[in-house]
Structure 1
Amino acid sequence: MTDPRTDLAAAGARLAALGLSPGSSGNLSVRVDDHILITPTGADLAEVDPDGLSVLDLAGTHLDGPRPSKEFPLHSAFYRRDPGNRAVVHLHARNATAVSCLPPWSVRSAVPPLTPYFVMRVGQTPLVPYAPPGDADQAGGLARLPFPLRAALLQNHGPVLAGPTMARAVDAAVELEEVSALLLALGERSPRLLTPEEAGALGAKYDSPWGEN
């Protein structure tokens, strides 16, 4: 059985190596029983200390370790939404952040179904209205969205994604960055999107949140 602290540190190193976490931006967490282990404020994801994580309860109360990232309300929101979520990744990845500055494709997903892997690995990704980083009201709004999701774009800020494992959350973050790059590369063109039937079939087969838009 793997150690969640080590998994988190390895995920940070991978995301930093891929260029998805510039400087000291981004934060990661894992849920262990009724506790959240999260990267401290100002942490460089390339050099996360597995023994230097902040410890919170599910309500976000700081229990142990250094001061947590101010984005902890986002992480807590995803764990409250779905007890199956065991890891959360928040990044300032360039392409996904650029898409967060554009009008959304639909109410349920800022990103259209361009590729099957976006639907399979990420699913519908709503645009959450802008708020200052760490805003508890924004996190509360995310927690209350009335449709299933495991990813969101924070307007003018960047992506946040959850998964049943850290590996799945990281894979979703990488896939969201890739589909965001494709969307930006297409520019003003009108691409062929997956049809509602095609996207719906993939969502059902891979248990990925995708619904009527």
Structure 2
Amino acid sequence: MSEARLREELCAIAADLFGRGLTHGSTGNISARTEDGGLLVSPTGSSFGRLDPARLARFDADGRHVDGDAPTKEMPLHAAFYETRAGAGAVVHLHSCHSVALSLLPAEDEGNWLPPLTPYSVMQLGKVRLLPYFLPGDPAMGDAVRGLAGRRSAVMLANHGPVVAGKNAQSAANAIEELEATARLALLTRGMPVRALDDAQVAQVVERFDVQWD
């Protein structure tokens, strides 16, 4: 995909997420690999509803900021996913309401934080790791992602929001929407006798769709 088209796509995806209330104000950030190995990144303090393709931060293949506005302060998160997941072509981070709300409640399993309520969260996300609270922009967030050694495509920052890496911007956006939808289901059914997928059903999904689940 040409850089001009990628710029337009990133802004269109961000505007769609914003328009449906999946992030708000100047929250959230998005990035994607360019054909030459560089990165396009949403600027710091920008709104997903009003991104300008011409003002996206541009990094070259060596990680130098070469054009556009200053990038999001959450660059440590984005960089960590690109460094540890060879197939990562895009990263999306939102402050989506239901996933943040679920992160405020006690977690049964921080290593597999999102309950397997439907096959689709398993298919698109694998296991989601709940990370502790960090000050926004803290480089330690990137260190925490690097500590997963590329084994997770999605993490949940406690009291903050989800971060998902995908092969391209649309797949990352689809996956983070699935995370938010599953978190909403978990909240709606909390305290009820839920019929979540059992271990055998999860194993079927993992095998059929070649999901990383270790």
- Pick the TM interval, shorter chain: over 0.9
Q: Following superposition of structure 1 onto structure 2, how do residues 145-156 of structure 1 map, counting pairs within 5 Å?
A: 145-146=148-149, 148-156=151-159
Question: Could you tell me which of 11, 30, 33 is aligned with 1:31?
Answer: 33
Question: Can you give the 5+ residue segments of structure 1 that lack an aligned partner in the other structure?
Answer: none
Question: Could you tell me which of 110, 115, 121 is aligned with 1:112?
Answer: 115
**Cα pair 1:96 1:158 within 8 Å, conserved:** yes
Query: TM-score, normalized by length of structure 1?
Result: 0.92
**Cα pair 2:99 2:180 within 8 Å, conserved:** yes
Shift of 1:57: 4.8
CA RMSD in angstroms, aligned pairs only: 1.7
Aligned to 1:55: 58
2:93 aligned with 1:96: no
**Cα pair 2:81 2:150 within 8 Å, conserved:** no
**Cα pair 2:131 2:155 within 8 Å, conserved:** yes
Judge which range, 22-31 or 198-207, deviates more.
Answer: 198-207
Deviations along 1:168-212, one digit per CA (max 9) or x if unpaired, are 11111111111100000112224122122211221232233323x
Q: Following superposition of structure 1 onto structure 2, how do residues 102-181 of structure 1 map, counting pairs within 5 Å?
A: 102-146=105-149, 148-181=151-184
2:78 aligned with 1:75: yes
**Cα pair 1:11 1:167 within 8 Å, conserved:** yes
Q: Percent identity?
A: 39
**Cα pair 2:38 2:63 within 8 Å, conserved:** no
Question: Could you tell me which of 184, 188, 194 is aligned with 1:185?
Answer: 188
1:78 and 1:59 map into 2 onto residues whose CA distance is: 16
Aligned to 2:19: 17
**How many aligned residue pairs are there?**
211
Aligned to 1:43: 46
1:143 and 1:15 map into 2 onto residues whose CA distance is: 27
2:61 and 2:137 map into 1 onto residues whose CA distance is: 16
2:62 and 2:108 map into 1 onto residues whose CA distance is: 32
**Cα pair 1:58 1:80 within 8 Å, conserved:** no
Counterpart amino acid of residue 12 in structure 2: A
Aligned to 2:88: 85
Query: TM-score, normalized by length of structure 2?
Result: 0.92
